[in-house]
Structure 1
Amino acid sequence: MMNRYPLWKYLLIVFTIAVAAVYSLPNLFGETPAVQVSTNRQAIIINEQTQSKVDAALQNAGIQTDGMFVVDNSLKVRFKDTETQLKARDVIENTLGEGYITALNLLADSPEWMAKIKANPMFLGLDLRGGVHFTMQVDMKAAMQKTFERYSGDIRRELRREKIRSGTVRQAGNSL
């Protein structure tokens, strides 16, 4: 029995599957904790001097890194675990001082050759990572005061509408 399609179509399918496999591989390597140092001031440039300053400070503090590099005016420093990452952030903030933004980050742990061919992992959004939890607190004293003001306005308005003469509405403790 003969093939239904020409050889080039089969080769194209094999090539497409191979490219898809290479570009999906970075998702298998996971992520590593890192600290990212950037700046919000145009006068400050992050370069090799900043890198050597951070490296010296981390060595003095006895903190081991898994490498650091400067990309797009930001310094990224990798660590083995999140505990080391947190200690390093404090050391870096104290070393660099004002004008620098120090943030915790997760970097792709894929090999360098994959990054060179732009084979980056898909990063999950906050909704897929577990979301963000907010704690909201209410200023009860201010909320109660606003409620009493609203009630006193309602009472005055009702009394006027019913044409009932009255004095002023005052708050006394937790009553009107």
Structure 2
Amino acid sequence: VNATEVTVEKYVANKRAQQETINEYLDSIEDILSPGMPLQVAFSASSAEADGDGAAAGEGAAAESSDGDGGPNPKRQRQNSIGSQLLETLSTELGLTAAQVDELSGQKGFIHSDREIKAQCTALIKELRVRVSEHIKTSQTITDCLRRILTPLQVAKFLVWVERNQRSMDLLNTMFQSDDAAQ
């Protein structure tokens, strides 16, 4: 009986390890989606004019449209100035021609679009992390309930059966979900 409890504990630990592995994969995906810091700073600051949201220049908050008297917003001007200065510095460092600077400036729309896609991907990854965590907690709760109802040997047999018959379990779960949706 003691060996059976050890087997069940190993199963539970394995489920927790699977969550850690999933999180590591999601971390890797986030790393792939994020450009290196110099590139991120360059593109974020240079696209501040196109965005006008303050986040592009690392400010993290939306710029107000005016200072209250209908005049230009100094914060917005500062963002534009930072983007312009950065593009000017990049132009000097790389020895860009005026035509190249103009073409790079024309990329702001693409950069903004790409940043929106990345933000959506990041939100989906965040949601996936929450869902995986919920799944692991629910799975743990189910296992705990089984352990209260069944003998340790029955729990171990059930867990082994579920692992061996995963496709059947998936089909059964799909059928239950269909029944729930129909009601």
Q: TM-score, normalised by structure 2?
A: 0.24
Higher gyration radius (CA): 1
Larger fraction in strand: 1
Q: TM-score, normalised by structure 1?
A: 0.25
